Amino acid sequence: MRIYREKDYDAMSRRAAAVIAAQVVSKPDCVLGLATGSSPVGTYKQLVQWYKQGDLSFAGVRSVNLDEYYGLAPDHDQSYRYFMQASLFDHVDIKPENTNVPDGLAKDPAAEGERYEKLVAELGYADLQLLGMGRNGHIGFNEPGDHFPVITHLVDLAQSTIEANSRFFASADDVPKQALSMGVGTIMRARRILVVVSGEDKAEAVYKAVCGPVTPEVPASILQLHPDVTLVGDESALSRLTEAGV
């Protein structure tokens, strides 16, 4: 695992954007696995800026997002489709038909999981998968449990995730209780993985993911088994690792 320790959120975002830009420049028709949440917002901002300066094009890029809240329409302002449009897709030259997010309104979520998994497989899985990390060590919406879910599936969100994400909704009651998420297997099939983490509240999860045992109780710990992971964090998110001498 390659670790970049950056002084703050902005420096973390620039570093992560540089890794993504390098991927897009070296393979303009690459498949990017994309993530939502506060962590990658600055990364997307930087990519948009480079696109506007004429330094980067997404014209050939195909994208697959990790997850979507179950029950939210694409135009709901807290849906992950909406987030991706507002944070990246509406501001760069990626072709709308080349962007993919699970359908939060699918009547049959099991069938939607299968459809999405097939789609990602047909694209050949991600060349580069961007990930944030939940405070409980979740990746995508793969919550701590007794096994690693393999393919795209319907997830019951952990109470701690509902609480963490309630900051974006009027109240915790408004947070959907379920989501469609790529499986850990889908994520691990990406050829490269880029993780962005920022803030003290992630320090413990980051430490467990990098130094702890590989266990489904900390879904991100499975990344230890992937051959090409880059972790970019700010000093506070990496503080427990620093203390441990990593």
Residues noted as catalytic: 67, 136, 138, 143
Contact residues for ligand GLP (CB under 6 A)? 35-39, 66-67, 132-134, 140-141, 161, 165
CB of 183 to ligand GLP, least distance (A): 13
DSSP three-state, residue 229 = strand
Q: Residue 118: how many CB atoms within 10 A of its CB?
A: 12
What's the CA gap between 26 and 179, in Å, rounded? 33
- Our CB check for ligand GLP shows the closer of 67 and 234 to be 67
Closest CA to 119 of 80, 94, 151, 154: 151
The token pair that represents 50 in the structure block: 């480079």
CB of 56 to ligand GLP, least distance (A): 23
CB of 130 to ligand GLP, least distance (A): 9
- Our CB check for ligand GLP shows the closer of 37 and 144 to be 37
CB 152 within 8 A of CB 102: yes
Residue closest to ligand GLP (Cβ): 132
Q: Are strands 128-131 and 153-156 parallel, antiparallel or unpaired?
A: unpaired
The token pair that represents 169 in the structure block: 């909704």
- Our CB check for ligand GLP shows the closer of 13 and 23 to be 13
CB of 13 to ligand GLP, least distance (A): 12
- Our CB check for ligand GLP shows the closer of 98 and 181 to be 181
Looking at the DSSP bridge assignments, the partners of residue 99 are 63
What's the CA gap between 138 and 27, in Å, rounded? 29
The token pair that represents 102 in the structure block: 């699970």
